[in-house]
Amino acid sequence: MSERGLKRLVGALVIVVALWAITSLLSGGGGSIAASGAIAGFFDEITPTSVDVVRLDGSDGPIELLREDSAWTANGFEADAAVIGRMFAALYDVEIGDLVATNPANHDRMGVSQDSAVTFEVQVSGETRTILVGKTGPRFATAYGRLPDEDEVYLIEGDLRVHVTRRLDDWRNKQIVAIDTSRAVRLEVERDGDAYTLVRGDSVWTFEDGAEAVAFQVRNILAELSSLIAAGFVMEGDSLYASPPGGVISAYSADGVTLATVTIGEGEGERWVRASGNDVVYRLSTFRVGRLAPTREAMDPES
């Protein structure tokens, strides 16, 4: 290559590099600013044992998650331990990413204004920390966030937004009853005025008079009693709870101990349900009603 040609090539490369630098500066790329100060260490040392209270305030209203010894409540109701565990697993992996905005005019667009954000407040070893969590970020498992008294908006890396936007019902324990069904030897079922009793034999379940019962229906009842999960909760004033009781399912052990008694409401479709020893009124889906309390006709192989 001639000296003249080499100079042209070098000149072209210089122009390309200059254009790239200008583009990077204008777009914010290549000049990212890492988080610093209080927000940089916001999620440090957050563990199930160091945190006493988590408060969320968003579109579903205020929610307080309170630790009492090793158990948690959600607005005073028993919390789902598995959901609490998933939250802390997510918090362990959350990181504060790069600065993405400094102008308050961007707060509404990013969902981090005081009116649009979800407020996430956590007490860590007696210290209260608060961050505003906004809309989903430009990549999967990211969200925008800022401290309440600061204009700077940072990208939060991790699944924080999934947890701070949960409704109260999603934090509550939906398990209605859970028994060791290997101990069950007698099932008494009443549904919509029709009652029958099932007893465990050496290898099969039958009706009390010895007649054959549909095996898979018995398995369904036992499966539901081993872990009966609600679709939701019935609050005071809900029309669903206005219906009278429509059925009772009880399970007994060989020594006559009542393992569980579950009462379901009357009606079609979704029903209310309560378990003995528990004041909470739950919603039970139509599917689970059919599995927990099959009709007498459904239990008969001849039907």
Per-residue pLDDT band for 3 (boundaries 50, 70, 90) equals low
Predicted confidence at residue 16, as pLDDT, reads 43
Point out the domain boundary residue: 118, 142, 171: 171
Closest CA to 91 of 150, 40, 157: 157
The span from the first CA to the last CA of the chain, in angstroms, equals: 94
**Does one domain contain both 112 and 51?**
yes
Predicted confidence at residue 2, as pLDDT, reads 61
Query: Is the residue at 146 inside a domain?
Result: yes
Q: Which residue's entry shows tokens 């009709």?
A: 295
Q: What is the mean pLDDT of residues 83-108?
A: 96
Closest CA to 207 of 103, 110, 294: 294
**Does one domain contain both 190 and 164?**
no
Do 212 and 301 form a contact (C-beta atoms < 8 A)? yes
**Does one domain contain both 112 and 189?**
no
Query: What ranges in the chain are assigned the alpha helix state H?
Result: 3-27, 81-93, 107-110, 160-164, 168-171, 215-226, 286-292, 296-299
Examine the pLDDT at 109 and tell me if it is beyond 70. Answer: yes
**Does one domain contain both 49 and 148?**
yes
Query: Is the residue at 17 inside a domain?
Result: no
| Cα dist from 88 to 58, 61, 125, 154, whole Å | 19, 21, 15, 21
Query: Is the residue at 31 inside a domain?
Result: no
**Does one domain contain both 94 and 185?**
no
How far apart (Å, rounded) are the C-alpha atoms in residues 53 and 110?
27
Predicted confidence at residue 13, as pLDDT, reads 53
Per-residue pLDDT band for 259 (boundaries 50, 70, 90) equals very high
Point out the domain boundary residue: 108, 143, 171: 171
**Does one domain contain both 52 and 153?**
yes
Examine the pLDDT at 253 and tell me if it is beyond 80. Answer: yes
**Percent of the chain whose predicted confidence (pLDDT) is above 70:** 90
Closest CA to 141 of 215, 198, 90, 208: 90
Closest CA to 184 of 260, 75, 96, 123: 260
Per-residue pLDDT band for 242 (boundaries 50, 70, 90) equals confident
Long-range contacts of 147-152 (CB under 8 A, 24+ apart): 147/38, 147/39, 147/42, 148/114, 148/119, 150/39, 151/102, 151/103, 151/104, 151/107, 152/39, 152/99, 152/101, 152/102
Examine the pLDDT at 4 and tell me if it is beyond 80. Answer: no
Query: Is the residue at 270 inside a domain?
Result: yes
Predicted confidence at residue 14, as pLDDT, reads 46
Per-residue pLDDT band for 8 (boundaries 50, 70, 90) equals low
Examine the pLDDT at 40 and tell me if it is beyond 80. Answer: yes
Predicted confidence at residue 15, as pLDDT, reads 52
Query: Is the residue at 53 inside a domain?
Result: yes
Point out the domain boundary residue: 144, 171, 198: 171
Between residues 19 and 143, which one has the greater pLDDT?
Answer: 143
Query: Is the residue at 27 inside a domain?
Result: no
Query: Is the residue at 276 inside a domain?
Result: yes
**Does one domain contain both 161 and 234?**
no
**Does one domain contain both 133 and 212?**
no
- Averaged pLDDT of the chain: 89
Examine the pLDDT at 104 and tell me if it is beyond 50. Answer: yes
Query: Which range marks the domain in which residue 63 is found?
Result: 37-171
| Cα dist from 238 to 27, 233, 265, 273, 281, whole Å | 53, 10, 13, 13, 11
**Does one domain contain both 52 and 166?**
yes
Q: Count structural domains, the chain.
A: 2
Here the tokens at position 136 are: 């989903």
Q: What is the mean pLDDT of residues 223-233?
A: 97
Q: What is the mean pLDDT of residues 142-153?
A: 96
Q: What is the mean pLDDT of residues 60-84?
A: 94
Mean pLDDT lowest among 21-35, 49-63, 70-84 = 21-35
Do 226 and 181 form a contact (C-beta atoms < 8 A)? yes
Residues β-bridged to residue 155: 144
**Percent of the chain whose predicted confidence (pLDDT) is above 90:** 79
Closest CA to 264 of 184, 172, 169, 177: 177
Mean pLDDT lowest among 2-16, 124-138, 172-186, 207-221 = 2-16
Q: Which residue's entry shows tokens 């990211």?
A: 142
Here the tokens at position 58 are: 């968003």
Predicted confidence at residue 11, as pLDDT, reads 53
- Non-local CB neighbours of 162 within 8 Å, separated by 6+ positions: 90
Q: Is the pTM of this model over 0.85?
A: no
Examine the pLDDT at 303 and tell me if it is beyond 80. Answer: no
